[in-house]
């Protein structure tokens, strides 16, 4: 039986991955982390539906014996959900390479994801696949752009946005990751050159349409900001923004960003637990509906001005499933593959351009999630 270790397997994203993969026969899933009580609770919840074998694993990725323990377990695949990834080194993927295990993570940290290719040679030498950022970004976001980029002769800008519902479940690690760069400079490709903007600033209102309507947005740091300009030959701008549904909470975050920008607060991440607890007071308000938008602007292959907007709508609190889908799709591919190791794709890479958008459709349908595609403009550059 192939062994799959899910690090942080009882967390906000890990439990959803375990739940999905538990329907696969002839695998053993080790729900790993430092909290055996939470692992046990997840096993109890899944015991009547799981066809995979579920086991508990008490392990700390920062412990001195982590490498030896992982090697003893001989996993086929390790899925790392244990964020925040900001400030983490590559001890986990390096250990997986040495153990001959495939590796997938849901990292959203720009440096962690973009620099994973440093391990490419070692991964190829060991015949394993190491993928970082198998999440909403850049996993899903790049799949959207891959669907449309061939319709453009030139892409001038790619603008991405995510707007979760206030009632959607939020994990401490995700909040800590966002707070780590709130009010700090982010290097982005804007106006045709690389320049700094500030995390959780440049606030604006965007109309997502549908049942979402208008939401506040501000700058967030994601791997896409660094990967997409060169990957898609963007000439002017790549931006990424996200926001909080309740204007009071969003504007509070913008104010916190300003305090960091002027140097009054060095790092809000140190207060993550207190901030999450305070935000939970507002859980009765707002909705459980979220959205994601990708807007591509440029010129069509006919030389016309062209804009395509793709909008994803997530009802019923299902938004937190979306970051897990890239990992689930890739994990299922690896687990179902009957290819020999020598025939499988190997190396270390960011999760960009690895999927067809249609690969997400089955999962979207099951969760009641849908997306809309709009051709906003396609006009001749010269009057006829």
Residue 358 domain-assigned (yes or no): no
357 domain-assigned: no
102-105 vs 129-132, strand pairing mode: parallel
Residue 339 pLDDT grade (very low, low, confident, very high; cuts 50, 70, 90):
low
Three-state DSSP string of the chain: CEEEEEECCCCCCHHHHHHHHCCCCCEEEEEEECCHHHHHHHHHHHCCCCCCEEEEEECCCCCCCHHHHHHHHCCCEEEECCCCCCCCCCHHHHHHHHHCCEEEECCCCHHHHHCHHHHHHHHHHHCCEEEECCCHHHHHHHHHHHHHHHHEEEEEEEEEEEECCCCCCCCHHHHHHHHHHECCEEEEEECCEEEEEEECCCCEEEECCCCCCEEEEEECCCCHHHHHHHHCCCCCEEEEEECCCCHHHHHHHHHHHHHHHCCCCCCHHHHHHHHHHHHHCCCCCCCCCEEEEEEEEEEECCCCEEEEEEEEEECCCCHHHHHHHHHHHHHHHHHHCCCCHHHCCCEEEECCCCCCHHHHHHHHHHHCCEEEEEEEEEECCCCC
pLDDT for 381 equals 47
Domain co-membership, 181 together with 109:
no
Distance CA 209, CA 330 (A): 31
Predicted local distance difference test score (pLDDT) of residue 172: 86
pLDDT at 140: 98
Give the pLDDT score at 168. Answer: 85
Residue 76's CATH number:
3.40.50.720
256 and 214, same structural domain?
Answer: yes
**Same domain? 283 vs 348:** no
- The percentage of residues in the chain with a pLDDT greater than 70, rounded to a whole number, is 97
The answer to whether residues 226 and 334 belong to one domain is no
Q: Which of 1, 171, 168 is nearest to 81 (CA)?
A: 171
CATH of the domain at 219: 3.30.360.10
User: Residues 174, 299: one domain?
Assistant: yes
Is residue 344's pLDDT more than 80? no
Give the mean pLDDT of the chain.
94
Mean pLDDT across 186-209: 97
| pLDDT of residue 357 exceeding 90 | yes
Q: What would the pLDDT profile of 207-250 be if each residue is shown by its tens digit?
A: 999 999 999 999 999 999 999 999 999 999 999 999 999 999 99
pLDDT at 337: 76
**Could you tell me if residue 27 is inside a domain?**
yes
Closest CA to 304 of 228, 232, 376: 376
At 377 the pLDDT is 78
**Is 326 inside any structural domain?**
yes
pLDDT at 384 over 50: no
- Read off the pLDDT of residues 55-90 as tens digits, 9 standing for 90 and up: 999 999 999 999 999 999 999 999 999 888 988 999
281 lies in the same domain as 334: no
Q: What percent of the chain has pLDDT over 90?
A: 90
Whether 150 and 266 share a structural domain: yes
CA distance 105 to 151: 31
pLDDT for residue 341 is more than 60: no
Q: Is the torsion defined by CA of 96, 97, 101, 105 positive or negative?
A: positive
Same domain? 154 vs 119: no
Please indicate, yes or no, if residue 222 is contained in any of the structural domains: yes
Which residues pair with residue 159 across a beta bridge? 239, 295
Does 332 map to a domain? yes
Range of lowest pLDDT (101-110, 251-260, 336-345): 336-345
Q: Averaged over 282-306, what is the pLDDT?
A: 95
**pLDDT 10s digits, 118-170:** 999 999 999 999 999 999 999 999 999 999 999 999 999 999 999 999 998 77
Give domain status of residue 384, yes or no: no
Both 108 and 256 in one domain: the answer is no
Q: pLDDT tens-digit profile of 268-286?
A: 999 999 999 999 999 999 9
Domain that holds residue 335: 2-135+320-352
Quick check: 342 pLDDT over 60? no
Whether residue 42 is predicted with pLDDT greater than 90 in this model: the reply is: yes
Indicate the pLDDT class of residue 343, thresholds 50, 70 and 90.
Answer: low
Q: How many domains does the chain have?
A: 2
- Range in 96-110, 316-330, 339-353 the model is least confident about: 339-353
User: Do 177 and 36 share a domain, yes or no?
Assistant: no
Res 17 pLDDT > 60:
yes
Rounded CA-CA distance 302/219 in Å is 33
366 half-sphere exposure, CB direction, 13 A CA radius: 9
Q: What is the C-alpha separation between 266 and 270, in angstroms, rounded?
A: 9
* 145 and 87 inside one domain: no
pTM: 0.93
In this predicted structure, which of 304-308, 326-330, 376-380 has the lowest mean pLDDT? 376-380
Are both 233 and 185 inside the same structural domain?
yes
pLDDT mean over 190-196: 97
**Domain assignment present for 143:** yes
């Amino acid at each position: 039986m192939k062994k799959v270790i899910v690090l942080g397997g009882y967390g906000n994203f890990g439990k959803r991955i375990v739940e999905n993969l538990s329907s696969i026969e002839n695998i053993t899933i080790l729900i790993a982390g430092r909290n055996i009580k939470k692992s046990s609770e997840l096993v109890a919840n899944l015991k009547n539906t799981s066809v995979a074998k579920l086991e508990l694993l008490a392990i700390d990725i920062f412990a001195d014996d982590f490498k030896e323990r992982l090697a003893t377990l001989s996993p086929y695949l390790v899925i790392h959900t244990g964020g925040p990834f900001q400030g983490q080194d590559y001890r986990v993927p390096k250990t997986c390479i040495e153990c001959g295990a495939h590796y997938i993570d849901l990292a959203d940290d720009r440096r962690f994801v973009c620099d994973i290719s440093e391990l490419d040679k070692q991964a190829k030498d060991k015949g394993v696949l190491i993928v970082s950022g198998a999440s909403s970004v850049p996993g899903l976001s790049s799949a959207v752009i891959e669907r449309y980029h061939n319709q453009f002769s030139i892409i001038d800008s790619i603008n991405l946005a995510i707007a979760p519902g206030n009632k959607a479940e939020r994990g401490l690690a995700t909040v800590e990751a966002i707070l780590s760069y709130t009010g700090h400079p982010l290097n982005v490709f804007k106006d045709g050159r690389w320049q700094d903007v500030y995390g959780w600033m440049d606030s604006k209102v965007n109309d997502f349409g549908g049942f979402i309507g208008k939401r506040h947005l501000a700058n967030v740091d994601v791997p896409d900001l660094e990967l997409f300009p060169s990957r898609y030959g963007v000439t002017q701008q790549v931006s990424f923004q996200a926001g909080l549904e309740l204007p009071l909470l969003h504007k509070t975050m913008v104010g916190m960003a300003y305090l960091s920008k002027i140097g009054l607060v060095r790092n809000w991440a140190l207060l993550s637990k207190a901030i999450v607890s305070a935000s939970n007071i507002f859980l009765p308000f707002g909705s459980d509906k979220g959205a994601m938008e990708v807007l591509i602007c440029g010129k069509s292959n006919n030389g016309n001005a062209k804009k395509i907007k793709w909008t994803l709508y997530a009802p019923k609190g299902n938004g937190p499933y979306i970051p897990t889908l890239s990992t689930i799709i890739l994990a299922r591919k690896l687990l179902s593959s009957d290819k020999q190791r020598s025939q499988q794709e190997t190396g270390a890479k960011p999760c960009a351009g690895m999927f067809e958008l249609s690969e997400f459709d089955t999962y979207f349908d099951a969760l009641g999630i849908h997306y809309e595609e709009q051709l906003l403009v396609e006009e001749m550059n010269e009057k006829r």
